[in-house]
């Protein structure tokens, strides 16, 4: 009987996703009961009782605003052109160039240590939080608890919540500093708890990782993440391109890389008219808004950016901003 009920609930969730559901729609059990089950699991993986009491002291119900924001992410509701147009402008580029002039020593040190170009470090910083201006004010644990309780991606966020509790229990981040985006990302580089656990770096050797206010920690953590997940130091991210008339769009897709020489023979050209900088490289053609939208040839580093955020629009935005910052 229980399996039948669970199957019915799962089916209901799929239907209700289309209908902009309220939070209550997704609750298969009462929030208090769900929270008790979570605490049992947390205790089983080694979280102390004292930390659990501290962590959930002020959490008695999910946050409806978090669910609303999750349902209306710009990566899901905007075209790539809209997404980029809403983020990259002359002011963001100018601010990025100012930041590169403000922190030349740290950017050079981090670039040399991790073999990640400073313009990509700065671009990720800019796209994520506008160079640290907007890091978010949502209580991380409350956001993660809400998204864990919700049915859309509960498994992913439940694991992030458990990691956040481990971080809190270890003392690496105090509760008062566990604030960030509605989705649980923290600090100026917006690391999820698992990313913090795996890739955050004490760049200034202070003895504590501080992604809220330590610029060396932010830069080092961004670069360490990219390096560890596969950044290729001899590549850029990609290029916007123009396609010839009647181009065979079946060749597009990240799963069909071809040598740049092949793309050139097919009539694919950079929109700025310059030659491709690495003619011996392999690239994939992507059409994120369909055949009538912009086209891009992208390299392995584009895949690396997708590991940060699984959104073509996000990765393209980071790449375009990095190009602007590299041109200063």
pLDDT digits (tens, 9 = 90+) for 190-245: 999 999 999 999 999 999 999 999 999 999 999 999 999 999 999 999 999 999 99
Q: What is the pLDDT of residue 10?
A: 38
CB-based contacts of 7, cutoff 8 Å, min separation 6: none
Task: State the CB neighbour count (10 A cutoff) for residue 272.
Answer: 10
- 64, containing H or E segment: helix 64-71
109 secondary structure, DSSP code? H
Q: What is the pLDDT of residue 18?
A: 30
16 pLDDT above the threshold of 90: no
- Give, to the nearest 10 degrees, the angle between helix 300-308 and helix 215-228: 120
- Segments in 174-214 forming alpha helices (H): 193-199
Mean pLDDT of 318-323: 98
Q: Please give the sequence-ordered ranges of beta strands (E in DSSP) within the chain, or none if there are none.
A: 138-139, 179-180, 238-242, 258-259, 269-270, 282-286, 295-298
Q: What is the pLDDT of residue 328?
A: 60
Comparing CA positions, the residue from 188, 238, 183, 245 lying closest to residue 212 is: 188
CB-based contacts of 295, cutoff 8 Å, min separation 6: 240, 241, 242, 243, 252, 268, 285, 286, 287
Side by side, the strands of the sheet bearing 258-259 are 258-259, 282-286, 295-298, 238-242, 269-270
Mean pLDDT of 80-84: 92
pLDDT digits (tens, 9 = 90+) for 45-79: 999 999 999 999 999 999 999 999 998 887 777 89
269 secondary structure, DSSP code? E
pLDDT digits (tens, 9 = 90+) for 146-198: 999 997 889 999 999 999 999 999 999 999 999 999 999 999 999 999 999 99
User: What is the rounded end-to-end Cα distance, in angstroms, of the chain?
Assistant: 65
Q: What is the pLDDT of residue 273?
A: 87
Domain boundaries along the sequence of the chain: 22-72+136-195, 238-298
Q: What is the pLDDT of residue 266?
A: 96
12 pLDDT above the threshold of 80: no
> How is residue 226 written in tokens?
């990219």
327 pLDDT above the threshold of 80: no
Q: What is the pLDDT of residue 167?
A: 98
Mean pLDDT over the full length of the chain: 90
8 Å CB contact between 172 and 140 = no
* Nearest-angstrom CA–CA distance, 83 and 313: 7
Q: What is the pLDDT of residue 33?
A: 95
Task: Among 1.10.3720.10, 3.20.10.10, 1.10.8.350, 3.20.20.100, name the CATH number for the domain at 22-72+136-195.
Answer: 1.10.8.350
Q: What is the pLDDT of residue 25?
A: 43
**pTM of the entire predicted model:** 0.89
Indicate the pLDDT class of residue 27, thresholds 50, 70 and 90: low
């Amino acid at each position: 009987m229980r399996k039948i009920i669970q199957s019915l609930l799962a089916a209901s969730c799929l239907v209700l996703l289309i209908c902009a559901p309220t939070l209550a729609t997704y609750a298969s059990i009462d929030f208090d009961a769900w929270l008790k089950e979570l605490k049992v699991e947390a205790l089983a993986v080694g979280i102390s009782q004292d930390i659990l009491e501290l962590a959930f002291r002020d959490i008695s119900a999910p946050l409806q605003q978090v669910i609303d924001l999750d349902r209306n992410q710009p990566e899901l509701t905007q075209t790539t052109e809209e997404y980029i147009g809403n983020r990259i402008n002359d002011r963001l580029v100018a601010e990025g160039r100012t930041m590169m002039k403000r922190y030349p020593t740290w950017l050079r040190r981090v670039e040399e240590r991790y073999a990640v170009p400073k313009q990509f470090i700065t671009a990720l910083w800019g796209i994520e939080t506008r160079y640290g201006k907007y890091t978010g004010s949502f209580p991380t644990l409350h956001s993660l608890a809400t998204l864990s309780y919700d049915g859309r991606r509960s498994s992913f966020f439940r694991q992030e919540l458990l990691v956040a509790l481990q971080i809190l229990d270890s003392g690496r981040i105090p509760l008062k500093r566990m604030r960030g985006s509605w989705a649980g990302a923290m600090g100026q580089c917006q690391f999820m708890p698992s990313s913090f656990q795996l890739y955050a770096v004490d760049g200034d050797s202070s003895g504590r990782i501080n992604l809220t206010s330590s610029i060396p920690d932010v830069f080092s953590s961004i670069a360490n993440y990219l390096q560890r997940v596969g950044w290729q130091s001899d590549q850029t991210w990609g290029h916007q391109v123009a396609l010839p008339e009647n181009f065979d769009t079946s060749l597009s897709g990240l799963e069909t890389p071809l040598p740049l020489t092949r793309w050139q023979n097919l009539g694919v050209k950079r929109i700025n008219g310059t030659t491709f900088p690495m003619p011996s490289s392999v690239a994939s053609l992507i059409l994120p808004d369909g055949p009538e939208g912009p086209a891009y040839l992208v390299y392995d580093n584009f895949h690396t950016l997708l590991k940060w955020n699984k959104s073509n629009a996000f990765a393209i935005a980071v790449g375009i901003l990095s190009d602007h910052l590299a041109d200063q």
